[in-house]
Structure 1
Amino acid sequence: MDFLQLVQARQSDRSYDKERSVESEKLERILEAARLAPSACNAQPWRFVVITDKELAQKAGKAAAGLGMNKFAKDAPVHILVVEESANITSLLGGKVKGKHFPLIDIGITAAHIALAAEAEGLGSCILGWFDEKGMKQLAGIPASKRLLLDIVIGYPAKEKRKKMRKPKEKVISYNRY
């Protein structure tokens, strides 16, 4: 599959086959894609806590299902928790000068790598930012001082692909001027 086909195929899956686990070889390739993602000043300001234990994954899914959101997360066999780590001094100083927090951008890039790598492996994924951060950190033994930014759920989709809805090109792309 070429890259554009991969991007067109990838969607946020919100239904997973409860009975089918993710093969470790596929998961390792997805994590390698995440590890190799670019970052400002090569800071690599992330740590991935990978939950594959069935019971723990169900508990993580419950922690992701607050206020009626993300109920499907309890069926996902894998949760990749993305923790923000300290950036290197170059990235931090550059961020101060430019008024940007580069680790957030970097983590967005690595999350995209994870989602696209999962699609390339025939798996579904959904990037979650809405979850019980404190509860999830306790489940996974993440220090209270750390920020848990994302829970990326992965598994075999239980539903067919749906039509991708995006704004037309004219609304999001311009050349040479805004």
Structure 2
Amino acid sequence: MEYSDFLQLVLSRQSDRAYDKERPVEADKLERILEAGRMAPSACNAQPWKFVVITDPELALKIGKAAAGLGMNKFAKDAPVHILVVEESANITSLLGGKVKDKHFPLIDVGIAAAHITLAAESEGLGSCMLGWFDEKEMKRLAGIPASKRVLLDITIGYPVKEKRKKMRKPKEKVVSYNRY
């Protein structure tokens, strides 16, 4: 793939907030999306994540309602797939490095994996949206995730029903500098 193709993919990816609830996501597409997340880089190759994939329509509706339970993300109940990203323990090298550098590397790593997942979804002709605002306790209960774990993200996946929007981003001069702050 050429760089221009990748940049086009990045430019076309958006947070989709409306899905065709009648159209399921094909298993082969979902597998490629999950593989993209699994292959994401992580500090010291710790891979501190588990992807709990919700595809059962009844459960997806309940998970979507848990995402919408706090008055936000009402669209989530229409998403045919939810990928719950659970933080797992980092390896000792990543944990020690994090202590020394005062950084929690698993949060960074999960963000990278989530970006891979959403870009892979876009490349498969699917929409996605990363949600961090949801009823975590209810999601854990519904998906059988141990209470001691953290669900960091719910990534909704499905066929979008709305057109692409124009991306709103800060001007380049505000976010990019060379050789000095």
1:75 aligns with 2:78: yes
Q: One-letter code of the match for 1:76? A: A
Instruction: Pick from 102, 107, 115 the counterpart of residue 105 of structure 2.
Output: 102
1:44 aligns with 2:47: yes
Rounded Cα–Cα distance in structure 2 between residues aligned with 1:33 and 1:48: 12
How far off its partner does 1:67 sit?
A: 2.8
Structure 1, residues 122-170: CA drift from partner, whole Å, max 9, x if none?
Answer: 0000000000000000000000000110000000001111111111100
In structure 1, what is the equivalent of residue 160 of structure 2?
157
Map 1:95-174; keep pairs closer than 5 Å: 95-174=98-177
1:93 aligns with 2:111: no
How far off its partner does 1:68 sit?
A: 1.8
In structure 2, what is the equivalent of residue 7 of structure 1?
10
Rounded Cα–Cα distance in structure 2 between residues aligned with 1:98 and 1:10: 33
1:19 aligns with 2:1: no
Rounded Cα–Cα distance in structure 2 between residues aligned with 1:55 and 1:9: 30
Rounded Cα–Cα distance in structure 2 between residues aligned with 1:36 and 1:17: 28
Q: One-letter code of the match for 2:19? A: Y
Q: One-letter code of the match for 1:98? A: K
In structure 2, what is the equivalent of residue 64 of structure 1?
67
Quote the sequence identity (%).
Answer: 86
Rounded Cα–Cα distance in structure 2 between residues aligned with 1:177 and 1:66: 44
Q: One-letter code of the match for 1:107? A: V
State the SS of the aligned residue for 2:139.
helix
Structure 2, unmatched stretches of 5+, are none
How far off its partner does 1:12 sit?
A: 0.1
Rounded Cα–Cα distance in structure 2 between residues aligned with 1:36 and 1:18: 29
State the SS of the aligned residue for 1:25.
helix
Q: TM-score scaled by structure 1? A: 0.99
Q: Number of aligned pairs?
A: 178
In structure 2, what is the equivalent of residue 33 of structure 1?
36
